[in-house]
Structure 1
């Protein structure tokens, strides 16, 4: 059957449905949408409906409004994509108006994605695209599959699309999660599993958003199973301290209505305030708040007040609530160490050990890959110790010229050698007297100096070059290395006795790619750099997503450099994904910063050369033509920085027409 014949039959089917009695179930949802397309929107199923994209500036506004959700949804969207990508699906996250604010799909198929509208910035509202999974999900507020001929437009009947709504904690539609594919079996039943998978992921995203939004409130989690209540957290209810309801997830709102506590869909927070947890559960507020201390598994069973159903409850307490009694006083001197990590297990173990060692009279060896923050650890040890008011002297043993390292470390007397200062010089070791000496990259120290350093550590005194009497020093040494010192010892390149003198205790720092608190580090370092610049920029969710996905071979040092670069090249108000260094975008799945389309391209905006161009070159050339070669306007349209546009023009061989003898693009 030819495509045109199948399209004609599709149009006839839609027109016939207008005169049939109402269908039931999923068919009724599709037919109601078809009627809206004709009666309300005036659409024609036979008329071509090319993909429509909102302009770049408008897309950024939609992304900004959805930023809180995008940051929470990232992990769920990426997990869903990993599950469905092998089957040929793409993943879209749209806002409540049907604009795709996040997209993941195979880069190899990017041209087809853009042509069809399965791409960032596409408008999938029912009023424009007709019956489709996203637009109809928005109208019907329910999960559904729009398979092949379910679509209103005859030009979409190749697609199979499955979408599920995501609601905010008060029942208002927040977003739609969609997976779509160009090829699939003919029967709609083939998408049953896809529907369940999308609904499950949408619920995870919705509940994660709920937990983040109300993390400063007690949250009651209910389930009909004791074993699963702490895993499923099916019903989520956020409370005030007096037990009054603040918000509920979708399942929680259904539970409240089932027990005759009506809450209108899409309502504001006010209807919740009319009810207390005591209206749902046959329990006092203090009993609910004491759930974590009631039993070993932190779960307690309650009857519901109206229907006497048993529900098992657990309570997520906000961080500010103490587990019992007064809040324990904190040692403020530990703040420099605590600032190095959030909730990464390896780092917390390391920092716990560091806190115990910070005032002990032993030397410490810090190990880890290049860029993992070994000097930051050394400074934090110093700043949290009783030596904090004394000098912290850092020496990079690998960066200091071998001809100068001895005099720099130990100092020298006046005229002790050719080129010596006339008044002599106090060495770095002596400068650290009373404080901390940090020896970075100790594995690169020359052997002859290792011998002298060993004597300093053993005797706690230093003999400047040319001096006859040693100088007493009181210092604590923190050494750092990315090398395996035991291998260097076996190779005869590092003294074993010096190793044991330095390694009174060891601290190992994990690489950034293995840390669970990357988001904390990104925000912390961004805030520090932003403060240094005196700026008030914000880091947008799409940039955070790219930073979290990057493997960081250069660790924290590379992260620091990437954020400094982004702040320098951004517009000063916000950092978006396009402001990041290009290497941070490698390996991203059709990342938003690459080739963002805006509107349909007119024929007169096509490049003059007839030979086909690479997609990235073609998209950038068209954007420049649309904006009359105004690079600032193109940067705003594509959500990139001006330096990035210039770099890509140079890399792709795109030359403005006002330059003489522009090279022909291939």
Structure 2
């Protein structure tokens, strides 16, 4: 009320973008929305029967993609749970989308926790999503206007939303670095599959998801300074699997080229100096001449 001058009793309709603004917003987030399609479909299959809709928003809190049952469309459209509606805190006060973006964390805003009284029939569970550079790009939201939404059910929905958000981040990252080797940069026993690195032919890190950046203290500056994958992949990650796969590729290249380093380097698409460094690191110097 004091920061944005909002009235909790304001019963007006939700603010929305124009058709042109919505089209421009969709174009800006297009790589991520393209990567998210299958994930959104799967999430809706999991929660749609409980009277929920699924929304993918941009960083301004505007839904750009939606999944919902046709029978519920009129209700959700009236509530503003629809592409083009503006759910930022500055417009709607406390709500599942705007508050999750403002606080940069996953959360659920349940019914009367909403600021506007017109939204107090809603239960909204949201999880932020980051782009391939680790920047906040938007969020995934599952909303319901059913009065029988229990805390237990909301907890299950929150887990499903978190898994789907990580899947969208991972797919967006793989799509952005399609030509690179993608390495899981966390503990294989953990479920956080969004901690990914993109590694080039010279074993340099060229990209990292937000989860990987946080876990391994990776910054844009370290990547720009030619960060070696071996410098950040420590114990408890998949470094062993990566090295074994790389060792196998180098040994095959040497075998197919008569153990000639120059020919093997050309076959692998790396420089002779790079291959010599790999041979030393992989303990294969005796297999080359």
Q: Name the TM-score, length of structure 1 as normaliser.
A: 0.35
Q: 1:598-617 CA distances to partner (integer Å, 9 max, x unpaired)?
A: xxxxxxxxxxxxxxxxxxxx
Which of residues 155, 161, 165 is equivalent to 2:118? Answer: 155
Q: Confirm whether residue 310 of structure 1 aligns to residue 262 of structure 2.
A: no
- SS of alignment partner, residue 40 of structure 1: coil
Q: Is the 8 A contact 2:167 2:194 kept in 1?
A: no
Shift of 1:187: 5.1
Instruction: State the Cα RMSD in Å.
Output: 2.6
Q: Confirm whether residue 180 of structure 1 aligns to residue 143 of structure 2.
A: yes
Q: Confirm whether residue 204 of structure 1 aligns to residue 167 of structure 2.
A: yes
Partner residue, 2:229: 277
Partner residue, 1:111: 74
Q: 1:560-619 CA distances to partner (integer Å, 9 max, x unpaired)?
A: xxxxxxxxxxxxxxxxxxxxxxxxxxxxxxxxxxxxxxxxxxxxxxxxxxxxxxxxxxxx
- SS of alignment partner, residue 100 of structure 2: helix
Name the CA distance, whole Å, in 2 between partners of 1:82 and 1:218. 32
Q: Is the 8 A contact 1:218 1:315 kept in 2?
A: no
Q: 1:259-294 CA distances to partner (integer Å, 9 max, x unpaired)?
A: xx5x3xxxxx3343243323223xxxxxxxxxxxxx
More contact order relative to length (CA 8 Å, sep ≥ 6): 2
Partner residue, 2:207: 247
Q: Is the 8 A contact 1:161 1:181 kept in 2?
A: yes
Name the CA distance, whole Å, in 1 between partners of 2:132 and 2:82. 28
Name the CA distance, whole Å, in 1 between partners of 2:72 and 2:59. 27
Structure with the largest fraction of helix: 2
Shift of 1:184: 4.2
Shift of 1:58: 1.0
Aligned counterparts, 1:295-306, within 5 A: 304=234
Q: Is the 8 A contact 2:135 2:210 kept in 1?
A: no
Q: Confirm whether residue 59 of structure 1 aligns to residue 18 of structure 2.
A: no
Shift of 1:327: 5.3
Name the CA distance, whole Å, in 1 between partners of 2:151 and 2:193. 31
Partner residue, 1:534: none
Q: 1:115-153 CA distances to partner (integer Å, 9 max, x unpaired)?
A: 100112111111112111111111111111011111111
Name the CA distance, whole Å, in 2 between partners of 1:248 and 1:184. 41
Name the CA distance, whole Å, in 1 between partners of 2:198 and 2:41. 28
Q: Is the 8 A contact 2:186 2:236 kept in 1?
A: no
Q: Cα gap change, 1:241/1:315 in structure 2, threshold over 3 Å: closer, same or farther?
A: same
Aligned counterparts, 1:94-493, within 5 A: 94-185=57-148, 188-225=151-188, 233-257=193-217, 263=219, 269-274=220-225, 275-281=227-233, 304=234, 309-313=235-239, 314-315=241-242, 324=253, 325=264
Shift of 1:232: 6.9
Name the CA distance, whole Å, in 1 between partners of 2:146 and 2:39. 24
Shift of 1:180: 0.5
Q: Is the 8 A contact 1:169 1:249 kept in 2?
A: yes
* Gap runs ≥5 in structure 1: 1-37, 264-268, 282-303, 329-666
Partner residue, 1:467: none
Name the CA distance, whole Å, in 2 between partners of 1:138 and 1:223. 25
Q: Is the 8 A contact 2:134 2:210 kept in 1?
A: yes
Q: Is the 8 A contact 2:166 2:193 kept in 1?
A: no
Shift of 1:188: 3.8
Q: Deviating runs (4+, > 6 A) in structure 1?
A: none
Name the CA distance, whole Å, in 2 between partners of 1:83 and 1:234. 21
Greater Rg over alpha carbons, structure: 1
- SS of alignment partner, residue 159 of structure 2: helix
Shift of 1:53: 1.7
Q: Is the 8 A contact 2:7 2:116 kept in 1?
A: yes
Name the CA distance, whole Å, in 2 between partners of 1:245 and 1:235. 13
Q: Is the 8 A contact 1:49 1:129 kept in 2?
A: no
Name the CA distance, whole Å, in 1 between partners of 2:216 and 2:29. 28
Name the CA distance, whole Å, in 2 between partners of 1:166 and 1:234. 10
Q: Is the 8 A contact 2:123 2:149 kept in 1?
A: no
Q: Is the 8 A contact 2:186 2:212 kept in 1?
A: no
Partner residue, 1:76: 39
- SS of alignment partner, residue 210 of structure 1: helix
- SS of alignment partner, residue 203 of structure 1: helix
Number of corresponding residues: 250
Name the CA distance, whole Å, in 2 between partners of 1:311 and 1:327. 29
